[in-house]
Amino acid sequence: MSNHSTDLTPVNGELPDRFEDPGLHEHHERMGDTDPKANKRAERQVVVLFGLSVLGTLAFLVAYAIVPPDGTVAGIRMSNLLLGLAMFVALAGIGLAAVHWAKSLMNDHEVAEERHPIRSDDATREVAVAKLNDGIKDSAIGRRGVLKGAMVSSLALFPLAIAVPLVGNIGGDWDVSRSKHTLWKRGTRLALDPTGRPIKAADVTIGSVFHVMPEGIEEAEHPLNEKAKAVVLMIRMDPRDIRSEQGDGWSYDGIVAFSKICTHVGCPVALYEQQTHHILCPCHQSTFDAADGAKVVFGPAKRPLPQLPITVDDEGYLVAQDGFNEPIGPSFWERLT
């Protein structure tokens, strides 16, 4: 057994041309192979594990009958917990018992299966090549050019039947202009999200943040699609705090409204910190300064949040002066012109 070493350190600094097959490790007897008591003990352990599984199954049935989900959160949780634990014990008992049985009671003599070369012998290979050549000669593919062309065309064209519907189903239509415009237009009232109540300027006290959508968005053909583009965050601060805005007169008496769609990758930006006037995006921590035209003060966003120009109508309700003057959201649509 001296040549059973797995030590591959070169002898005298040189690797041998060929390593000797180290063969199998010496077979160690298990305790159960020599000691009948240990063998009996292992058998008992397997029986206990199977017994555990039986208990688990019975516990499952009992839990199913006695603790049905009663409709409350705690009741459903308790029912799930008991059923799950009982089923775990039932299945784990079977699995553990099977593995333990195989490991400790079945024979454990090591068996090695030699690997053979997978290359066929030369005679078989010659026969195979001859058969292929016969087939090619029989089809006369070399002489019948039209037939060859027809075959190649049919094979090459068929993938279109898969590719065309796959590509055609993307998006439905290719009108990108709808991604550049929102429902906001001149005179659209600002309404509360999600209740849809229009907002009076007097109701927006300093320090408030209102989550806003265009009034009447529910009547749109696809309200959720429109809402995904048109949502606006409206903030009122002391007018003296406003250092800049994106257009002259776009705010109303300290009330500013910005698109809620981040200009980085389009997450809803709405973590407004009242004291710093910073708006934080939860996805990648882009931070915009609402007091300074929503300029980016931190993070990966490259453009300020587009500002919605607002004013009040005759009845004191806040309305949009106009739509956004640039596409909202990530810069993608702006470039696609």
Partner 1 sequence: MKALAARRHHRSAPVVLLLLALLLTGAVYAIAAPSSADAASATTSQSDIDAGEKLFQANCATCHGASADGTASGPSLIGVGAAAVDFQVGTGRMPAKMNGAQIQAAPAQFDQEQISQLAAYVASLGAGPSIPTADQVDASKGDAANGGAIFRTNCAMCHNAVGAGGALSQGKYAPSLMETSPEHIYEAMLTGPQSMPVFNDANITPDEKRDVIAYLEQQREGSAGGLTLGSLGPVSEGLWAWVAGLGLLIGAAVWIGAKSS
Chain residues binding partner 1 by CB under 8 A are 28, 30-32, 42, 72-74, 76-77, 80-81, 99, 103-104, 108, 192-195, 199-200, 203-211, 235, 268, 270-276, 278, 280, 282, 285, 287, 298
Nearer to partner 1, 181 or 200 (CB): 200
Nearest distance from residue 99's CB to partner 1, in Å?
5
* Radius of gyration (C-alpha) of the chain in whole angstroms: 38
Question: What is the spatial distance between Cα 82 and Cα 100, in angstroms, rounded to a whole number?
Answer: 26
Structure tokens given for 312: 């009040």
Q: How far is CA 255 from the centre of its chain?
A: 38
* Bond into 194 cis (ω within 30): yes
Structure tokens given for 50: 């199977």
Nearest distance from residue 116's CB to partner 1, in Å?
26
Nearer to partner 1, 148 or 211 (CB): 211
Structure tokens given for 323: 């739509």
113-134 in b/e burial notation, b at 16+ Cβ within 10 A? eeeeeeeeeeeeeeeeeeeeee
Question: What is the spatial distance between Cα 82 and Cα 329, in angstroms, rounded to a whole number?
Answer: 48
Nearest distance from residue 64's CB to partner 1, in Å?
17
Nearer to partner 1, 225 or 274 (CB): 274
Nearer to partner 1, 88 or 332 (CB): 88
Nearer to partner 1, 139 or 274 (CB): 274
Nearer to partner 1, 72 or 337 (CB): 72
Nearest distance from residue 285's CB to partner 1, in Å?
7
Nearest distance from residue 35's CB to partner 1, in Å?
12
Nearer to partner 1, 105 or 138 (CB): 105
Contact call for residues 334 and 326 (beta carbons, < 8 A): yes
Contact call for residues 268 and 229 (beta carbons, < 8 A): no
Provide the terminal-to-terminal Cα distance of the chain, rounded to the nearest Å. 78
Nearer to partner 1, 126 or 313 (CB): 313
Nearest distance from residue 151's CB to partner 1, in Å?
50
Nearest distance from residue 193's CB to partner 1, in Å?
5
- H helices of 140-182, in order, are 145-157, 160-168
Report the amino acid identity of residue 159. P
Nearer to partner 1, 134 or 238 (CB): 238
Report the amino acid identity of residue 131. K
Nearest distance from residue 69's CB to partner 1, in Å?
8
Which positions ≥6 away from 311 have C-beta within 8 Å? 249, 252, 318, 319, 321
Structure tokens given for 263: 């200009």
Q: What are 244's strand-pairing partners?
A: 292
